[in-house]
């Protein structure tokens, strides 16, 4: 393996740099000069800068041999991508984009070098979702015909191009046995964000506007600047964590009990397995993001139902019972339990009140003339943007106003006092309908229907760890769409996180087709 990697690196250099004829004396002199220059630069640089240069150089050299390393780095950078970016010509570019470009470039070099090493033709695996990706891009691109801001359309279209690039990168470089390392990195990134959010929640480290429960706590926001995208990111990690926790607990429970292992030891082991899930759930609640909590609740139920038919039947029974109780109670009971005025600032009552306020505000029909309060402000603002998006779509039925152009066109459709375009409609289906019309939203729905079909196939054809990954992927996609009913999670790098998840599922799918025996791993 080492000889192959070394030979591959030599081929890469020969493919990109023409060989130079240099005398041995000149070579020795050049090496000495370069070594002295590097040593002097490291000696004069601050310690932190020197460590960064050395570690960065080491990673770069290692990644030339193992391009998949850029994937691990990309996953860790996604949550902090908004902190490490600048505006260049109206397009936000940061470390995430640089790492992605380096990973794709290194993969390209590797792909070009392998035919020279093996004598075989250049092959790039497209996977089961490349076609749906291209269909979606085609549908969105048609809206360019009437776009007002080409720059805004370019930014939004590039997100889906980047998703396709990451997807191809993953399925071409990642081997099935490496999936566990990618999953570990994803969970690590989620735990880091959860820990940071809980710190902000407990120690009130953040803006005064995020204070909760009479100033006792503060809404968690992690590195996302706002609680809603922070909760959205956790919601895109939690279903995978839940599925893996169920798998590990099942593994522990079905194994024959070791007579030498005490009952306390087993409980500690089960508790340790469940700890990451508990931390992330706590951080999600600390964000107080209603969209994230709703999305995670639905995603959790779907993940459990996908994992086990017995759980699915139990959930169906509970849902039926809940509907019956709701119908009976609707005759003489309030929709929400009464809130004790003496404990109005408790976390439970605060959550109930936020949900009740949202339900009450959603029933508003005249957004422009409704009195605005602290309780209904956020919900009324969303309703105003939903109405604006509907009006845009109605006036531009087939191709919309141009992908990415919602904020550009919004002033012409603003409702009442809600003049801030906010960047999107806070409902992605309405947003893409307004921007890309009936053609774009149809392509979008077809893409996700085919994606759900792929994920379901992977769940049905696998057991154990692979099934847990696929079930978690279904939960993640479920959260994405439920949360997107009140927001837009295709922001701050989270769309690349989704692309990585789709790539993992496709790697398992391709492995099943190549080696059916591995399905039951």
Nearest to 473 by CA among 495, 452, 496: 452
Within-domain flag for 101: no
pLDDT of residue 4: 42
Residue 14 contacts residue 6 (beta carbons within 8 Å):
no
Within-domain flag for 25: no
Q: Which of 47-51, 118-122, 333-337, 355-359 has the lowest mean pLDDT?
A: 333-337
pLDDT of residue 29: 65
pLDDT of residue 123: 84
Looking at residues 379-400, what average pLDDT do you find?
94
Instruction: Give the DSSP H/E element, type plus range, for residue 87.
Output: strand 85-88
Q: Which of 4-8, 133-137, 253-257, 286-290 has the lowest mean pLDDT?
A: 4-8
CB neighbour class for 518 (10 Å; exposed up to 12, middle 13-18, buried from 19): middle
pLDDT of residue 521: 44
Looking at residues 1-19, what average pLDDT do you find?
49
Q: Which of 252-261, 312-321, 393-402, 483-492 has the lowest mean pLDDT?
A: 252-261
Rg over alpha carbons for the chain, rounded to the nearest Å, is 26
Residue 240 contacts residue 187 (beta carbons within 8 Å):
yes
Token pair, residue 302, equals 């779907």
Confidence of residue 349 (pLDDT cuts 50, 70, 90): low
Within-domain flag for 261: yes
Location of structure tokens 């279903």: 239
Overall number of domains in the chain: 1
SS3 86: strand
Report the distance separating Cα 239 and Cα 235, nearest Å.
7
Q: What is the dihedral of CA 54, 59, 64, 66, to 10 degrees?
A: 150
> Please, what is the average pLDDT of the chain?
84
Confidence of residue 83 (pLDDT cuts 50, 70, 90): confident
* Alpha-carbon distances, residue 502 vs 30, 407, 471, 475, 508 (angstroms): 47, 29, 12, 12, 10
pLDDT of residue 436: 98
Residue 297 contacts residue 239 (beta carbons within 8 Å):
no
Residue 79 clears pLDDT 80, i.e. is over it: yes
Which of 453 and 12 is assigned the larger pLDDT?
453
Contacts of 68 by beta carbon, 8 Å cutoff, 6+ apart: 173, 174, 178
Confidence of residue 335 (pLDDT cuts 50, 70, 90): very low
Report the distance separating Cα 469 and Cα 24, nearest Å.
55
Within-domain flag for 489: yes
Instruction: Give the DSSP H/E element, type plus range, for residue 418.
Output: none
State the residue range of the domain holding 430. Answer: 130-333+364-520
Kindly report, residue by residue over 232-244, the tens digit of the pLDDT.
999 999 999 999 9
Q: Which of 15-19, 418-422, 442-446, 463-467 has the lowest mean pLDDT?
A: 15-19
Instruction: Give the DSSP H/E element, type plus range, for residue 342.
Output: none
Residue 69 clears pLDDT 60, i.e. is over it: yes
Angle (CA) 300-306-309 rounded to 5° is 120
Nearest to 495 by CA among 149, 102, 101, 164: 164
* Alpha-carbon distances, residue 311 vs 299, 316, 329, 461 (angstroms): 14, 8, 26, 19
Within-domain flag for 262: yes
Within-domain flag for 41: no
What phi-psi label fits residue 90: left (phi over 0), alpha (psi between -120 and 50 degrees) or beta? left
* Percent of the chain scoring above 90 in pLDDT: 58
Contacts of 25 by beta carbon, 8 Å cutoff, 6+ apart: none
Residue 183 clears pLDDT 90, i.e. is over it: yes
Report the distance separating Cα 79 and Cα 191, nearest Å.
11
Within-domain flag for 53: no
* Percent of the chain scoring above 70 in pLDDT: 76
- b/e for 457-467, b at 16 or more Cβ within 10 A? bbbebbeebbb
Kindly report, residue by residue over 188-245, the tens digit of the pLDDT.
999 999 999 999 999 999 999 999 888 899 999 999 999 999 999 999 999 999 999 9
Confidence of residue 113 (pLDDT cuts 50, 70, 90): confident
Residue 136 clears pLDDT 60, i.e. is over it: yes
Within-domain flag for 138: yes
Report the distance separating Cα 450 and Cα 435, nearest Å.
22
């Amino acid at each position: 393996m080492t000889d192959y990697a070394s030979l591959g690196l030599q081929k890469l250099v020969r493919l990109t740099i023409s060989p130079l004829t240099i005398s041995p004396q000149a070579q020795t002199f050049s090496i000495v000069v370069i070594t002295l220059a590097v040593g002097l630069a490291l000696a004069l640089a601050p310690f932190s800068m020197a460590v960064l240069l050395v570690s960065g150089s080491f990673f770069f050299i290692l990644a030339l041999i193992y391009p998949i390393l850029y994937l691990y780095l990309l996953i860790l950078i996604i949550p902090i991508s908004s902190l490490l970016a600048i505006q260049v010509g109206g397009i936000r570019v940061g470390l995430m984009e640089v790492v992605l470009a380096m990973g794709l470039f290194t993969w390209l070099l590797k792909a070009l070098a392998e035919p020279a090493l093996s004598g075989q033709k250049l092959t790039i695996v497209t996977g089961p979702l490349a076609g749906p990706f291209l269909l979606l891009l085609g549908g969105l691109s048609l809206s360019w015909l009437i776009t007002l801001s080409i720059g805004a359309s370019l930014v939004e279209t590039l997100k889906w191009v980047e998703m396709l690039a990451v997807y191809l990168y993953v399925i071409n470089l990642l081997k099935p046995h490496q999936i566990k390392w990618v999953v570990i990195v994803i969970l690590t990134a989620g735990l880091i964000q959860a820990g940071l959010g809980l710190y902000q929640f407990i120690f009130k480290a953040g803006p005064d506007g995020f204070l909760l429960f009479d100033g006792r706590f503060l809404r968690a926001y992690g590195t996302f600047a706002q609680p809603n995208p922070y909760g959205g990111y956790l919601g895109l990690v939690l279903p995978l964590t839940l599925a893996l926790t169920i798998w590990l607990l099942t593994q522990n429970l079905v194994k024959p009990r070791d007579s030498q292992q005490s009952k306390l030891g087993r409980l500690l082991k089960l508790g340790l397995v469940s700890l990451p899930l508990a931390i992330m759930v706590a951080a999600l609640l600390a964000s107080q993001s209603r969209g994230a909590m709703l999305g995670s609740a639905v995603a959790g139920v779907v993940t459990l139902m996908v994992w086990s038919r017995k759980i699915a039947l139990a959930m169906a029974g509970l849902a039926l019972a809940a509907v019956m109780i709701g119908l009976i109670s609707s005759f003489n009971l309030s929709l929400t339990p009464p809130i004790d005025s003496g404990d109005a600032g408790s976390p439970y009552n605060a959550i109930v009140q936020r949900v009740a306020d949202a339900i009450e505000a959603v029933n508003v029909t005249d957004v422009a003339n409704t009195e605005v309060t602290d309780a209904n402000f956020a919900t009324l603002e969303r309703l105003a943007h939903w109405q604006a998006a509907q009006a845009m779509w109605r006036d531009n039925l087939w191709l919309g106003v141009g992908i990415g152009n919602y904020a550009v066109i919004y002033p012409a459709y603003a409702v009442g006092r809600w003049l801030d375009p906010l960047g999107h409609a806070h409902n992605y289906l309405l947003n893409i309908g307004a921007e890309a019309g009936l053609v774009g939203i149809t392509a979008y729905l077809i893409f996700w229907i085919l994606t759900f079909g792929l994920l379901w196939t992977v769940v049905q054809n696998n057991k154990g760890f692979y099934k847990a990954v696929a079930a978690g992927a279904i939960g993640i996609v479920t959260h994405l769409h439920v949360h997107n009913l009140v927001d837009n999670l295709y922001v701050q790098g989270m769309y690349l996180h989704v692309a990585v998840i789709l790539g993992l599922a496709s790697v398992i799918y391709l492995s099943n087709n190549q080696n059916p025996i591995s399905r039951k791993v």
